[in-house]
Amino acid sequence: MSVKDKYTHFNLTEGIHFINCATRGPFSRAVEKAGIEAIQHFSPSIHQIRPDDFFERAWVVRELFDQLINSQDKERIAIVPSVSYAMAVMARNLHRKPGLRAGQHILLLGDEFPSDVYAWSRVCEELALKIVTVPMPNTETIGQEWNARILEAINTDTALVVMPHVHWQYGIKFDIEKITARARQFEALVAIDGTQSVSALSFDIQKVKPDMLVCAAYKWMMGPYGMGLTYYGEFFDGGIPLEESWMAREESNLFYKLTDYQKIYRPKAYRYNVGEHSHFIQMPMLEVALREKLEWGCDLIQAHCQSLWQEPIQKLAKLGVQFEPESERAHHLVGIRLPETTDVMKTQQALAMRNVIVAARGQGIRVSPHLYNTPDDMNALVEALTEVLS
C-alpha cells in the first residue's frame, strides 16, 4: 500500500486532513464492503445459518490476532467488547494470584486512560491492596526517566503492573520487555493495554510475555467499535469468567444438547469471551481489517509515519512546542506539548476550523498519522499551528 491510496483505499473526505487515527481509525473500503455484504447476506440466508456459524468466523479472527502478536496459541485469544471488560476479568481473578497478600500494591501510570484505572479501587478494597501511581516526570527526556522510575517502583510489594505499550496522550514508548522481566523477578502479574500500539507498532508476546494484553479494535486495527481482542496467559487458565456464556462450555455447538448442561468449559481463554461474540455483521469486518494489518506490516507504518514527521518537527520546534526524542516515542502517535499558557481545546478547535483533525489530550495536541496521510496533511498541520500559536 502507498500514500496514493488515500481516497481509493479509504473513503476519506477530500480536503479534510484527518491525522487522528488514535481516536478512531477509519474503515478501509474493503472493511466497509465486508460489512455491507454481511448485512445483505444475513436476512436472505438466515434460514441457512448452522450452529457452527456461531463459532467458526470468530476462530478465524482469533487466529489472525494470534499471528499479529505472535502468541503462538490462538486458544489464548478471547473476543471482548472493550478494554474495561478485559481489565474487569483481571480484577475478578486477582485473588487467585499465588502469594498475594494484604498490603501489596497495584502499579499504575499517571495520566493513564480511565479504562486502565477504574477497575482497581474496588478490588483494592476487597483484597486490602493499595494503588501506587508512577507519575509522568517533569523532565526534558520524559520517556527515559519514566521507564527508569517504573522499573524502580516494581518490588516485592507489587502484585500487578497495569500499563500501556505506548502512552495514549503523548506517544511515549515504554520498555515493556524490561518491565515485564522485572515484574517476573518479583512474581508480579502484568496487564498491558495495547490499544494504541498493536497493529501499528510491533508487539511480540514471545518477547514481552505479559499475563494479559488487550486491544480495542476500533483504533489502529481499523475495525468495528464495541469489539476488542485479548490475550490471556497461563495465569488465567481455570479462572473465573466475568459472565457465564452458554458458548463457553463444551459441546455448545451441539444445539440439540444445550439443555444437557455442561460443567466443563472450553479450553484456555474461551471462557473469557463476551456473550454473543459471534457478531455476524461485525466479525467479517474485523477479519478483513486484521488481514490488511498483517499484509501492511508495522515496519511499513512506522517508516511512513517517521518520514511524515521529519520536516514538521523542525518547523514546529520554532514555535516553542516540545517533542520527545525520536528514540523514546512512537512515530504513529506523537504528543505535541504546547506552551503552558496555551488553551489546548481552543487550539484543537482552531485547527478543526482549518480542516486539520487532531485531538486535544492533556497539555498537548495528539497527532496520529497512518498510511493514508501525506506530506500535504502534515504541512496543513504546521501552517495551522503556526497561525494559531504565533
pLDDT in tens, 46-78: 999 998 999 999 999 999 999 999 999 999 999
| Start-end of H helices in 230-297 | 282-296
Beta-bridge partner residues of 79: 229
Question: What's the CA gap between 222 and 321, in Å, rounded?
Answer: 30
pLDDT of the residue at 3: 53
Structure-block grid coordinates of residue 110? 499517571
pLDDT band at 4 (very low <50, low <70, confident <90, very high): very low
Report CA 259 to chain centroid distance, whole Å.
38
Does residue 322 contact residue 337 with C-beta atoms inside 8 Å? yes
Contact 191, 161 (CB under 8 A): yes
Q: Which CATH number fits domain 46-294: 1.10.1040.10, 3.40.50.300, 3.40.640.10, 3.30.1650.10?
A: 3.40.640.10
Query: Which pLDDT band holds residue 20 (cuts at 50, 70, 90)?
Result: very high
Per-residue pLDDT for 81 more than 70?
Answer: yes
pLDDT score recorded for residue 2: 54
Give the whole-number percent of the chain exceeding pLDDT 90. 87
Q: Pick the closest to residue 295 from 367, 374, 371, 215 (CA basis).
A: 371
Q: Are 371 and 1 spatial neighbours (Cβ–Cβ below 8 Å)?
A: yes
- Asked: is 3-19+297-389 a CATH 3.90.1150.10 domain? The reply is yes
Residue type, 50: R
How many CB atoms sit inside 10 A of residue 273's CB? 23
Q: DSSP E strands: which ranges in 14-146? A: 17-18, 77-80, 105-109, 130-134
CB 209 within 8 A of CB 176: no
pLDDT of residue 281: 96
- Average pLDDT (134-146) is 91
Q: Where are the domains of the chain?
A: 3-19+297-389, 46-294
What are the strands, taking DSSP E only, across the chain?
A: 17-18, 77-80, 105-109, 130-134, 158-164, 189-193, 212-216, 228-232, 334-337, 356-357, 359-361, 364-367
pLDDT digits (tens, 9 = 90+) for 87-132: 999 999 999 999 999 999 999 999 999 999 999 999 999 999 999 9
pLDDT of residue 340 exceeding 90: no
User: At 354, phi and psi to the nearest 5?
Assistant: -100, 15
Whether 146 shows a pLDDT value over 50: the answer reads yes
Instruction: Let me know: does 350 contact 384? Beta carbons within 8 Å.
Output: yes
The strand pairing partners of 134, in sequence order, are: 109
Mean pLDDT of the chain: 95
Residues 206-218: pLDDT tens digits? 999 999 999 999 9
pLDDT in tens, 277-310: 999 999 999 999 999 999 999 999 999 999 999 9
pLDDT at 23 over 90: yes
Q: CA–CA separation, 192 vs 289, rounded Å?
A: 22
Q: Residues near 125 by Cβ (< 8 Å), separated by ≥ 6?
A: none
8-state DSSP, 217: S
pLDDT digits (tens, 9 = 90+) for 41-53: 999 989 999 989 9
Non-local (6+) Cβ contacts of 359 within 8 A are 20, 22, 23, 348, 365, 366, 368
Q: What is the dihedral of CA 6, 295, 223, 331, to 10 degrees?
A: -70
The pTM of the full predicted model, rounded to 2 decimals, is: 0.95
Query: Per residue in 154-168, is it b (16+ CB within 10 Å) or e — as a string?
Result: beebbbbbbbbbbbb
Task: Please tell me the distance from the alpha carbon of residue 229 to that of residue 283, in angstroms, as a whole number.
Answer: 12
Amino acid (1-letter code) at residue 284:
P
Q: Enter the C-alpha cell of residue 245.
A: 456464556
